[in-house]
Amino acid sequence: MSTRRRDFLRSSLSAATLVSIGGPTIPGFLARSARAASAEGTGDEGRILVVLQLLGGNDGLNTVVPHALDGYSRNRKRIRLASGQLHRIDDQVGLHPRMGKLAELLERDRLAIVQGVGYPNPDRSHFRSMEIWETARTDSGPEAIETGWIGRVLDAHPPKPGQDPPALHIGAGRSPLATKAKRVEVPSLERVDQFRLQLAGAAPEQRSARTAMSDVARVDRGDDPLLGFLRRSTLSAYESSRRLEEVAGTDGDSSYPNYGLAQRLKQVARLIKAGFGTRIYYTRQDGYDTHANQFDTHAALLNELADSLAAFHDDLAGAGLNDRVAVLVFSEFGRRLAENASGGTDHGAAAPVFVVGPVRHAGLIGEHPSLEPDDLDDGDPRFHTDFRRVYAAMLDHWLGLPSAPIVGEGFEPLPLLPPARG
């Protein structure tokens, strides 16, 4: 039996002891929650990062719109946004007309927009570009895509037994590559309510059934990695289920719009407000692959994005938690400068990134990339800010974790968020 396996066995046994004690552990847990919300809340330990990935490649040029640049109106006809409808950011660029709620956050100094974010030699395949963003590596060997950038954070700072999961993916479908770690499983859930094992009978019968099921998974089977993975995942699921049942008592705030994204962010807010110890949340909004007739589709997506982010921000502000939470919004690439013949846009390169929270400088960070033909990267806006400098800011400054081992050397953190006190 390897050391790791023994360690794991011990840790799962200690968690099981916790479970079997039942009632008396709850005050302990509440005490820990209270600490998380108060004492830890004032320190860097209480800081939380929410990563929001826009799937499909968001058209950055119709999000943060460079209406004053000739290149924009030259290349966009059917899907051009008129400057008068935009929410002004400065003389040159404005936010999409349907992003009014995000414009309000900007006025309240809660939004930073990093322009021209990308990486060298942009890849226009969704899969490859998502891999690059999610692994924070531009090399493509099998080893390079083994872990995601958040996964490597978890491997470098592994959770202690019995703690809440260090990261959670909120949403249906696959857990993102970004959260894939070598030694930590990141749970994935769509709604907190789904975290209930639906056992029949009265409470004592439920308890004994749960114990019997956990006991089967707990037996060490020796050396098979796939089976070991299943065993650990099963135990972790049953344990997280108990924890989440405890904290998710009320449905809470009803001021969220009825969008999928808003509902996912509401789940995140419930966990944060309940003092859950998770520091990194990951969620996604799909649909940005707008090859055809994008005008209305894209407007609806951006409206969902802006309204959902604003509802989340206001919910946390109401609970006095908004200075502990930063949201990073990115997409795997922008879209081509020139619209296509179907009233849509094809896969492009550099695009803006949003940060919502207690930002150091609200507004634009960096210039809008030039749209003059000679300055373009194969027909697309050229990046000037490597996305790993954004990640470095989230790690070094916001979470107080060294970024170089995660994203590599030479990516100076952008001054987006107040530095951790270390």
Partner 1 sequence: MEAGASLDRGIPMQSSPLLNDPDRAWCRFEPSGEEPWDLPRVAHLHRRAGFSASWDALQRDLGDGPEASIDRILDGEPSALDGSPAAEFDRLMDALARGPGAAGGAAGLQASWLYRMIHTPHPLRERMTLFWHDHFATSIEKVGDPDLMRRQVDLLRRCSLGSFAELLRTIARDPAMLIWLDATESKRQHPNENYAREVMELFTLGRGQYTERDIQEAARAFTGTVVVRGRYRHDPRQFDDGEKTVLGRTGRFDGDAIADILLDQPSCARFLCRKLFSWFVSEVDEPSDALIEPLALAYRDSDYDTRVPVAMILRSRLFFDPAIRRRRVKSPVEFAVGTIRALEILAPTVSTQELAEACTRMGQALYAPPSVAGWDGGPAWINTATILARSNAALALLDDRRRFDPEALASRHGRSDDPAGFFVDLLVQDAFGPDVLDRIRGSAREAAALVLTSPEYQLS
Distances (CA, A) of 91 to 29, 62, 66, 306: 52, 16, 9, 22
| 4 near partner 1 (CB under 8 A) | yes
Residue ranges in 269-308 that form contacts with partner 1 under rule CB under 8 A: 291-292
| 202 near partner 1 (CB under 8 A) | no
| 31 near partner 1 (CB under 8 A) | no
CA–CA distance, 315 with 272 (Å, rounded to integer): 11
> Which position among 198, 250, 254, 258 is part of the footprint of partner 1 (CB under 8 A)?
198
Q: Which of 51, 129, 67, 91 is nearest to 354 (CA)?
A: 51
Stretch that binds partner 1, among 83-91, 211-219, 265-273, 393-401 (CB under 8 A): 211-219
| 230 near partner 1 (CB under 8 A) | yes
CA–CA distance, 60 with 397 (Å, rounded to integer): 26
Stretch that binds partner 1, among 87-95, 158-166, 359-367, 398-406 (CB under 8 A): 158-166
Residue ranges in 325-344 that form contacts with partner 1 under rule CB under 8 A: 340-342, 344
Stretch that binds partner 1, among 38-46, 58-66, 171-179, 368-376 (CB under 8 A): 171-179
Rounded to 5°, the CA angle 320-261-312 comes to: 10
Alpha helices in 43-123 (DSSP H): 70-75, 100-107
Token duo for residue 41: 């809340």
Token duo for residue 127: 């899969």
Q: Among residues 84 and 219, whose Cβ is nearest to partner 1?
A: 219
> Which position among 84, 120, 204, 225 is part of the footprint of partner 1 (CB under 8 A)?
225
Closest approach, Cβ 281 to partner 1, in A, equals 14
| 144 near partner 1 (CB under 8 A) | no
Closest approach, Cβ 356 to partner 1, in A, equals 26
CA–CA distance, 381 with 367 (Å, rounded to integer): 12
> Which position among 17, 38, 233, 255 is part of the footprint of partner 1 (CB under 8 A)?
233
Residue ranges in 73-132 that form contacts with partner 1 under rule CB under 8 A: 125-128
Closest approach, Cβ 373 to partner 1, in A, equals 19
Q: Among residues 165 and 413, whose Cβ is nearest to partner 1?
A: 165
Tell whether the torsion through CA atoms of 120, 92, 366 and 397 is positive or negative. Answer: negative
| 219 near partner 1 (CB under 8 A) | yes
Alpha helices in 157-293 (DSSP H): 203-218, 225-247, 260-273
Beta pairing class for 188-189 and 280-285: unpaired
Closest approach, Cβ 200 to partner 1, in A, equals 5
Residue ranges in 342-361 that form contacts with partner 1 under rule CB under 8 A: 342, 344, 346
Q: Among residues 68 and 199, whose Cβ is nearest to partner 1?
A: 199
| 182 near partner 1 (CB under 8 A) | yes
Stretch that binds partner 1, among 64-72, 88-96, 163-171, 397-405 (CB under 8 A): 163-171
Question: In 298-401, where do the E strands start and end?
Answer: 325-331, 351-356, 363-365, 385-386
Write phi, then psi, for 193 (nearest 5 degrees): -65, -20
Stretch that binds partner 1, among 183-191, 245-253, 275-283, 319-327 (CB under 8 A): 183-191
Distances (CA, A) of 312 to 2, 43, 110, 262, 306: 44, 22, 12, 7, 10
Contact 46, 277 (CB under 8 A): no
Q: Among residues 331 and 385, whose Cβ is nearest to partner 1?
A: 331
| 221 near partner 1 (CB under 8 A) | yes
> Which position among 199, 317, 319, 420 is part of the footprint of partner 1 (CB under 8 A)?
199
Closest approach, Cβ 362 to partner 1, in A, equals 35
| 367 near partner 1 (CB under 8 A) | no
Q: Which of 404, 359, 406, 366 is nearest to 385 (CA)?
A: 366
Q: Among residues 70 and 223, whose Cβ is nearest to partner 1?
A: 223
CA–CA distance, 171 with 331 (Å, rounded to integer): 17
| 34 near partner 1 (CB under 8 A) | no
| 203 near partner 1 (CB under 8 A) | no
Contact 177, 134 (CB under 8 A): yes
